[in-house]
Amino acid sequence: MIRQKSFENEKPSLYLVPTPIGNLGEMTPRAIEVLQSVDVIACEDTRTSGQLLKYFDIDKRLISYQNFNEDSSAKGILNLLSQGKNVALISDAGYPLLSDPGQRVVSEASAEGYNVVPLSGCNAALNALVASGLIVQPYLFVGFLPSSQSDAIKKLNEYKNYPMTIIFYEAPHRIEKMLRSLLEVFKDRRICLARELTKIHEEIIRGTISEVLEVVSDLKGEMVVVVEGNRDDYEKDIDYSQLLRMVNESVERGMTTSDAIKDTAKKTGVSKNTIYDLVHSKERKENVC
């Protein structure tokens, strides 16, 4: 067992620092403070990160940490930590490790007993999820699918029966092919496509996969695709008596039946139509009796 008390020891720390995904106003004061205080900043692209740090008047040593050099870079960061240096890990945009480099150094640094300290901040997946209009929790974050279409189809087949909302990342030049693969495997579910999040051209498109496919050919910017889970298989295992109890309890607290059904649907992820039919089926049976 590894038990870390981040602020109750003098050990060197590896800080995981999110950076803005578009709007620089979303850089937090704590993120700026940490980047100003560490000895070294590890980043994906020293040029991109150099511009960000210059904007916030941060002058620190930058080292490269990318997927292709992760083995050697992780060793370099561990060496710095062994010398008593504090290191911050940042991505070009967003949160380190989430479809970005960092997994190896975090695993090894924590195994060696160094502090690994996460900061709150920007994350495109969560931005898109909460704005999607789909069930927010539980959710599954996948990130980018494999570049090979056959591999992507294989991966999608692994997820097609999952009942939770699923989040993907995709690049603009691959989005149409990705959605066609999604349609083939998942059928025509509801999705939300969010692009250019926090930027001036931010756009959030909600609809079925086939509807969104009609407008994607000219879209630009990094994209998040939030996909409805497999509700069919999920609803086979529903405890209908519990749903009725929840609706009845809400009505007893003063809600209308309609609002109680909506509230129960929101809390459980079961469709409003399913709950509506259940409630009114019970009422019809009671009237017959």
Does residue 32 sit in the same domain as residue 55?
A: yes
pTM: predicted TM-score of the whole model, two decimal places? 0.78
Is the pLDDT at 144 greater than 90? The verdict is yes
Tell me, yes or no, whether 2 lies in a domain: no
Mean pLDDT computed over 189-217: 95
pLDDT at 199: 94
pLDDT at 205: 97
Does residue 107 sit in the same domain as residue 144?
A: no
* pLDDT tens digits for range 264-276: 887 877 778 788 8
Total domains in the chain come to 3
* pLDDT tens digits for range 182-195: 999 999 999 999 99
pLDDT at 226: 98
Does residue 108 sit in the same domain as residue 165?
A: no
Number of neighbours of residue 150 by Cβ within 10 angstroms: 9
Tell me, yes or no, whether 1 lies in a domain: no
State which of 185, 209, 230 marks the end of a domain. Answer: 230
CATH code of the domain containing 118: 3.40.1010.10
pLDDT at 58: 96
State which of 69, 91, 122 marks the end of a domain. Answer: 122
Does residue 110 sit in the same domain as residue 207?
A: no
Q: Where are the alpha helices (DSSP H) in 38-148?
A: 46-55, 70-82, 103-111, 124-131
Does residue 64 sit in the same domain as residue 114?
A: yes
pLDDT at 289: 52
CATH code of the domain containing 164: 3.30.950.10
Tell me, yes or no, whether 79 lies in a domain: yes
Tell me, yes or no, whether 6 lies in a domain: no
Tell me, yes or no, whether 156 lies in a domain: yes
Does residue 89 sit in the same domain as residue 135?
A: no
Q: Where are the alpha helices (DSSP H) in the chain?
A: 29-37, 46-55, 70-82, 103-111, 124-131, 149-159, 175-186, 209-213, 231-235, 240-252, 257-268, 272-288
Mean pLDDT computed over 161-169: 93
pLDDT at 237: 58
Tell me, yes or no, whether 3 lies in a domain: no
pLDDT at 183: 96
Does residue 148 sit in the same domain as residue 188?
A: yes
pLDDT at 49: 94
Mean pLDDT of the chain: 91
Tell me, yes or no, whether 215 lies in a domain: yes
Tell me, yes or no, whether 36 lies in a domain: yes
* pLDDT tens digits for range 8-28: 999 999 999 999 999 999 999
Does residue 24 sit in the same domain as residue 111?
A: yes
Query: For the chain, how far is it from start to end, CA to CA, in angstroms?
Result: 61
Q: For residue 58, what are the domain limits?
A: 13-122
Distance CA 61, CA 38 (A): 9
Is the pLDDT at 59 greater than 90? The verdict is yes
State which of 230, 247, 265 marks the end of a domain. Answer: 230
Closest CA to 112 of 16, 42, 39, 11: 11
